[in-house]
Amino acid sequence: MTSRNGKDGQAGTLFTTQAAARRFAAAIVAAFGVCDEVCTPLTDLQKITVIQAALLEFDGLEAELDSLSRIGDLLRELRWSEEGI
């Protein structure tokens, strides 16, 4: 996923983070809608609390994805270095 300079990996991580953010936001909106439909709507304070918790959970996702991408690069390089022995 990344090239030697890491730009491809950064773009992939950014794309993945944006896709996850869209899905995350859609899930929160759907959850609020379900609460409204079953006649147990959340108060504004409860909605804010849910959003704050979601943002805290989402924070750091980009760094985690980048880290996983770098680990993959290191493992691929290790494989190629073994074949050259």
pLDDT tens, 45-81? 999 998 988 888 878 777 888 888 888 888 888 877 6
50 in a structural domain: yes
Domain count, the chain: 1
pTM of the model: 0.56
Q: What is the DSSP letter of 67?
A: H
Residue 60 has φ and ψ, to the nearest 5°, of: 95, -5
38 in a structural domain: yes
Residue 84 has pLDDT above 70, yes or no: no
Domain region containing 45: 7-83
Please answer whether residues 8 and 69 qualify as being in contact, where contact means their C-beta atoms are separated by less than 8 angstroms: no
Q: Which residues contact 50 (CB under 8 A, 6 or more apart)?
A: 28, 31, 32, 42
Q: Which residues contact 69 (CB under 8 A, 6 or more apart)?
A: 1, 2, 9, 12, 13
1 in a structural domain: no
